[in-house]
Amino acid sequence: MRIGILTSGGDAPGMNAAIRTVVVTGLAENHEVVGIPNGYVGLLEGKSRSLDMTDVQGISGFGGTMLGTARSDKFREEEGLQLAIQRLGELKLDTLIVIGGNGSLTGAHKLARAGVCNVIGIPASIDNDIGHCGLSIGVDTAVNTIVEACDRISDTARSHRRAFLVEVMGRQCGFLAMRAGVAAEADIIFYGEEDLDEAAIIQRIRNVLQTSFAPGSSKQRVLIVKSESVDFPTYKLVQRVQQHLPVDAPGVELRTTILGHVVRGGRPSAMDRVIAQRLAYAAT
């Protein structure tokens, strides 16, 4: 059997562990395994290369994806989809394994309906927003990265008696903010699903600042974790809150940190490696 594998969309720590497991398991069953570079972009270009044990040795501990990844606007169009179906036939694949998030697995579903070959999706997204999936590849590492960052920020916040607002990734899902915020002992956690308006968000922050830094309070820091799913730009939120600081918390500064793509990188945790290995073994 000839197995193709690609990674698509945003990279997630643990993707390489999944790739390695597909190769190791496939070769053990006397299958041929080929890697398609740069996701659906590579598929549309008809690119592939054979993968053997030397290609995947030691990659489970690396972040990112050794196959490369990309988002393809062309693939979303009917013409692009038909070209991808044509390429699958030209590559003579019996099975295509797609590792990625919502958009990538939606594309895999469309390819599967064409019936050219078996198509199997493996959920990999730090956002943890994939339906019917309790914990996708990359989530645990992302949460740990956020918690470590918040712990470091809390060290300096306590030293200077400051408040910090930390924005984290997650697209339209507040899982990362909630899980990491609880673990890091955040004073406030904002996530899009709560659907608060701007006035309510500002008032909640003001209430916490007033209580935490009231005269006689021994509290040294306030940590606010905000998901990017909250429809209130962080810079604007900070500016609005800072207008009230002289009254709510005299002498206290509010600083902000947007973690951004730092959350995606880094060596995958043991849990993400094992999740990836188990899913990839089942897929192969």
Annotated catalytic sites, by residue?
127
Closest by CA position to 163, among listed 96, 87, 249, 35: 249
C-alpha distances (whole Å) from 179 to each of 18, 115, 182, 243 are 24, 39, 5, 30
Q: Which residues of 120-149 are buried (b: 16+ CB within 10 A; e: fewer)?
A: bbbbbbbbbbbeebeebbbbbbbbbbbbeb
Closest by CA position to 241, among listed 156, 168, 163: 163
User: What are the start-end ranges of the E strands in 170-251?
Assistant: 188-190, 221-227
Cα of first residue to Cα of last residue in the chain, in angstroms, is 11
Separation CA 257–CA 43 (nearest Å): 38
Closest by CA position to 120, among listed 36, 30, 5: 5
Number of Cβ within a 10 Å radius of residue 183: 15
Residue 168 Rama label (left phi>0; alpha psi -120 to 50; beta) = beta
Residue 37 Rama label (left phi>0; alpha psi -120 to 50; beta) = beta
Closest by CA position to 7, among listed 139, 125, 109, 111: 125
Closest by CA position to 104, among listed 121, 92, 117: 121
